[in-house]
Amino acid sequence: MLRNRVARTLSAVALGLGNSRECPLCGWTGRRFLTQPNPRQPRRDAVCPQCGSTERQRLARLLVDIGHPDYTLHVAPDGVAGWLRSASVDYLSVDLYAPAMRKADVTDLPFEDQTFDLIWCSHVLEHVEQDRQAMRELHRVLKPGGLAIVQVPIWREATFEDPTITTPEERSAVFYQSDHVRLYGLDIVQRLQQAGFAVSTLTIRRLPVELITRHSLSHLPTNEIFVCTR
C-alpha cells in the first residue's frame, strides 16, 4: 500500500540522520539500520535502508577476500550481488524458485566440471533436503584453487535434522522457519570436508568491537563463514 511505502521512506530518512552506522557494501551512513521483520522476534538495527544488506552480508564483505575472480556463481542471489558482480569478470546468479539470471537446482547444477573460480552460497543449504548432494555439486563445478563461500545459520555444535518433520508449521516450530529442513551445527565443516573441500572458518571474533558496532554485524546464528577450497 502507498501508506506503507511512505512510512518506510520516512523511516529510512529518519534513520539516515547521523553517522554512527555504516554499510560496507554500499557506503550508506546513518543513525541505525532498519528493523528486520521476523515472526519469532524482529531484529533491530539489522537491514541497510539503501542496499538491503543484513548482518551476515556485511560481515562477509569485511571478512572475505574474493580478489577478482574470472567467473563467479552466485547461488540464490542476495545483498552481496552488486559486490560480487563488480569484482568479477563474469558473473552468473542461479535459483530454483526466486528471480535469478538462470534457473538451476543446487543439487543438480547444469554446468561442466571445474567451471567457476568463485561460488557464493549463503543461507541456501538449510532449505535443501539433500544438502550433501548440493555440497558435492558445489565441489564439482569449482575450479582447483577456487573458493566456495558457504554461510548457514549455526544454532548448535551438532546438526539436528528429522525427515519426518515436513509441514510448514512443524518446521517453523522445530527449525525456526517454515522452509528450513534442519538446524545446522558447527559440524557442517565435516559435511563440507566429506564433499571434498578443505574448509577454514572465519568468525566475527576476528574483528574489533568498534567495527562490529559501526557496521551492526553481530547476529548470533550468522557469525561464522565457511571458506571452502578445492
Residue 192 sits in a domain of what CATH number?
3.40.50.150
The reported pLDDT for the residue numbered 122 is 98
- Count the helix, strand and coil residues of the chain and give each as a percent rounded to the nearest 5: 30, 30, 40
The reported pLDDT for the residue numbered 62 is 98
Together in a domain, 17 and 90: no
Cα(39)–Cα(33) distance, rounded to whole angstroms? 19
Together in a domain, 174 and 107: yes
Q: Outline where 125-186 has alpha helix (H).
A: 131-141, 168-175
Together in a domain, 98 and 32: no
Together in a domain, 33 and 128: no
Together in a domain, 212 and 189: yes
Together in a domain, 97 and 147: yes
> Taking 60 as the threshold, does the pLDDT of residue 13 lie above it?
no
pLDDT tens for 31-44 read 999 999 987 789 99
The answer to whether residues 217 and 184 touch, using CB atoms and an 8 Å cutoff, is no
Together in a domain, 116 and 160: yes
Q: Outline where 16-54 has alpha helix (H).
A: none
Residues contacting residue 14 through CB under 8 Å, at least 6 positions apart? 31
Together in a domain, 7 and 58: no
How many domains does one find in the chain? 2
Cα(42)–Cα(28) distance, rounded to whole angstroms? 22
pLDDT tens for 90-141 read 999 999 999 999 999 999 999 999 999 999 999 999 999 999 999 999 999 9
Boundaries of domain holding 139: 54-229
Say what percent of the chain tops pLDDT 70: 93
Coil, helix or strand for 146? strand
